[in-house]
Structure 1
Amino acid sequence: MKKLSEKEINSKLENYPDWEFYEDALHTDFEFENFKDCMSAMNRIAFECEALNHHPEWTNVYNTLDITLTTHDEDGVTELDFKLLEAINKIVEVEE
């Protein structure tokens, strides 16, 4: 999978206003009603990560989830990151 250009990434991100591109990665954060809802979303996202064999860098503090997506083998963002981004958005949309 090849690394996408900054132009390609920014064009794709027009459809995902909650995500930003910087430091060769896609970034977002979500805030949930409580810790349980946040952990539920993380667990559902984890299954998608395993299915894609692609894993985010993420941190959780109480009801917030910060996510960074990048393809380390390519030193940047690839289509795989956008596949995971789409899965994450669908999961979080259902949770909200």
Structure 2
Amino acid sequence: MTSYTDAQIEEALKGLPGWSQEGEALVKSFEFADFTAAIAFVGRAAGPIDEMDHHPEWTNVYNRVDIRLSSHDVGGVTDRDVQLARVLERVAEAS
């Protein structure tokens, strides 16, 4: 697996609202109604994330979950990161 070029990342971001490139990663902050809703999102996302065996860097502060996706083994953004971003979008939409 090889990392995306900046042009490939830019193209992928067109289909990922609210996501952006930060260095060698895709990033997004998801905001929810409150802490309980934010943690519920994390819980719902855990299963699909584990199935993909591609785990994000994320932090939670009250109603916000900040996510950073990067394939550390190749040093950049790959198909796995874009696919995981799409999965996280679907989980958030179902919230």
Partner residue, 2:77? 77
Structure 2 spans left out of the alignment, 5+ residues: none
Match of 1:51 in 2: 51
Measured in 2, the distance between the counterparts of 1:11 and 1:23 equals: 16
Q: CA deviation at 1:49?
A: 1.2
**Alpha-carbon distance in 2 for matches of 1:35, 1:22:** 26
Following TM superposition, where does structure 1 have runs of at least 4 consecutive aligned residues deviating by more than 4 angstroms?
A: none
TM-score calculated relative to the size of structure 1 = 0.95
Rounded to whole Å, the distance in 2 between the matches of 1:54 and 1:76 is: 13
How is 1:1-20 mapped onto 2 (pairs within 5 angstroms)?
Answer: 1-20=1-20
TM-score by length of 2: 0.96
* Structure-2 separation of matches of 1:55 and 1:2: 18
User: What SS is found at the alignment partner of 2:26?
Assistant: strand
Listed as ranges, the gaps of 5+ residues in structure 1 are: none
Q: Give the deviation of 1:44 after TM superposition.
A: 1.2
2-structure distance, mates of 1:17, 1:37:
20
Percent of aligned pairs with the same amino acid: 36
Which one has the bigger helix percentage? 1
Which residue of structure 2 lines up, in the alignment, with residue 29 of structure 1? 29
Between the two proteins, the alignment pairs up a number of residues equal to: 95
Pair 1:61 & 2:71 matched: no
Q: Residues of 1 paired with 2:17 and 2:35: CA distance?
A: 24
